[in-house]
């Protein structure tokens, strides 16, 4: 069973790993045996500390995905220099901007598209030739319930996450035959920084909770099982799939 789900010796890159879901998944990947390259614009010391505490190994890379080409060069170069290979990429970094569609600014639109969609494509494009050479690889994109639904006052986020779901399928169609599994995870409502505004809004918070069959917001650690599954050989025949980890939200 450990061979099926274990990640011993694998090299995993994960973006947006300084907090929230990304930090939890980074620690989970390390616990499963992967050497983890943690990438973020913010300080990564806490993530490193958590990984080291559980006996794992990691390399921190500070990069701003708004500076997309230089960041990607840095991520690939430093990963290969430190660990010599790339087996797993988790495109987790994401941002949110809330405003009614009629007054939504160009800047907010472009920012969200850049981090949530373009960086996902460009980073996937950069690791794919290395995975092709290996004859295998795992790319996991963080989608959202808003890959399927429209949400309120988040037009760019919904468009970007709809795009992530379609991009996941498009890349999977081209790369599955190379041994590269491209899949996604669609989290439900997770109690992280990204949702501070929703959690603080009593009415929205109550409406959201009433709709979640599991009866609670997700915690970042709820995503560890899913990412290990999609990063491991247990998911070798899963291609272009978006797995909802949402406490049952999409079933209602
Ligand atoms: P978060 O805000 O806690 O974490 C996002 C991380 O991305 C942060 O560490 C942030 O510093 C990093 N980041 C932002 N801009 C960056 C940049 N320019 N360069 C490098 N790193 C950057 O959010 P989270 O809730 O943990 O979300 C993680 C992923 O899951 C995102 O893709 C998000 O869209 C998705 N998601 C979250 C929820 C939720 O309810 N929280 C729901 C669905 C999908």
In order along its 252 residues, the chain shows pLDDT tens digits of 778 999 999 999 999 999 999 999 999 999 999 999 999 999 999 999 999 999 999 999 999 999 999 999 999 999 999 999 999 999 999 999 999 999 999 999 999 999 999 999 999 999 999 999 999 999 999 999 999 999 999 999 999 999 999 999 999 999 999 999 999 999 999 999 888 888 999 999 999 999 999 999 999 999 999 999 999 999 999 999 999 999 999 998
- Using a 6 Å cutoff on CB, does residue 223 contact ligand 1? no
Partners of 233 in beta bridges: none
Q: CA gyration radius for the chain?
A: 17
- How is residue 198 written in tokens? 């929703």
Distance, CA of 89 to CA of 134 (rounded, Å): 14
Could you give the residue ranges of the DSSP H alpha helices within the chain?
A: 2-5, 20-31, 45-53, 68-83, 106-113, 119-134, 155-175, 196-200, 202-211, 224-231
Q: How many CB atoms lie within 10 A of CB 235?
A: 20
Q: Which pLDDT does position 123 carry in this prediction?
A: 98
- Indicate if 157 belongs to the active site: yes
| For ligand 1, atom 2: residue with the closest CA | 194
Model pLDDT, residue 198: 87
Spacing, Cα 36 to ligand 1 middle (Å): 18
Please tell me if the CB atom of residue 187 comes closer than 6 angstroms to any atom of ligand 1.
yes
In the prediction, which pLDDT does 167 show?
Answer: 99
Say what the pLDDT of residue 1 is.
73
**Nearest residue by C-alpha to atom 32 in ligand 1:** 94
Torsional sign, CA 105, 107, 110, 113? negative
Pairing of strands 57-62, 88-91: unpaired
- By most ligand atoms within 8 Å of CB, the mutation choice from 14, 18, 20, 220 for ligand 1 is 20
DSSP state of 188: -
Long-range interactions of 195-202: CB distance < 8 A, separation 24+? 197/98
In the set 83, 152, 157, 223, the catalytic residue is 157
State in Å: Cα 185 to ligand 1 middle.
13
Closest residue by CA, ligand 1 atom 12:
16
181's tokens: 């599994």
* pLDDT value of position 86: 98
Q: Whose CA is closest to 86, among 118, 126, 122, 48?
A: 126
**Is 7 in contact with 232 (CB distance < 8 Å)?**
yes
Å from CA of 15 to ligand 1 middle:
9
What's the pLDDT score for residue 65?
A: 98
What residue's CA is closest to ligand 1, atom 39?
190
Distance of CA 244 to the CA centre of its chain: 13
What is the pTM assigned to this prediction?
0.98
Give residue 74's pLDDT.
98
3-state secondary structure of 232: coil
């Amino acid at each position: 069973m450990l061979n099926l789900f274990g990640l011993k010796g694998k090299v995993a890159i994960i973006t947006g790993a300084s907090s929230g879901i990304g930090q939890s998944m980074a620690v989970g990947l390390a616990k499963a045996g992967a050497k983890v390259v943690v990438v973020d614009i913010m300080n990564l010391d806490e993530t490193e500390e958590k990984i080291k505490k559980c006996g794992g190994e990691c390399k921190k890379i500070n990069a701003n995905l708004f500076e997309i080409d230089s960041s990607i060069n840095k991520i690939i170069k430093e990963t290969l220099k430190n660990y010599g290979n790339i087996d797993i990429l988790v495109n987790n970094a994401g941002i949110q901007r809330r405003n009614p569609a009629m007054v939504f600014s160009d800047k907010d639109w472009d920012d969200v598209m850049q981090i949530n969609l373009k960086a996902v494509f460009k980073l996937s494009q950069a690791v794919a030739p290395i995975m092709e050479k290996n004859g295998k690889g795992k790319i996991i994109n963080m989608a959202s319930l808003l890959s399927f639904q429209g949400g309120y006052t988040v037009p760019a986020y919904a468009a970007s996450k709809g795009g992530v779901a379609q991009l996941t399928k498009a890349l999977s169609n081209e790369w599955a035959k190379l041994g590269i599994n491209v899949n996604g995870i669609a989290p439900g409502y997770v109690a992280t920084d990204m949702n501070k505004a929703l959690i603080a809004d009593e009415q929205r918070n109550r409406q959201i909770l009433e709709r979640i069959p599991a009866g609670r917001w997700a915690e970042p650690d709820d995503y560890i099982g899913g990412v290990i599954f999609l990063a491991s050989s247990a998911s070798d025949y899963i291609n272009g799939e978006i797995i909802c980890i949402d406490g049952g939200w999409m079933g209602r």
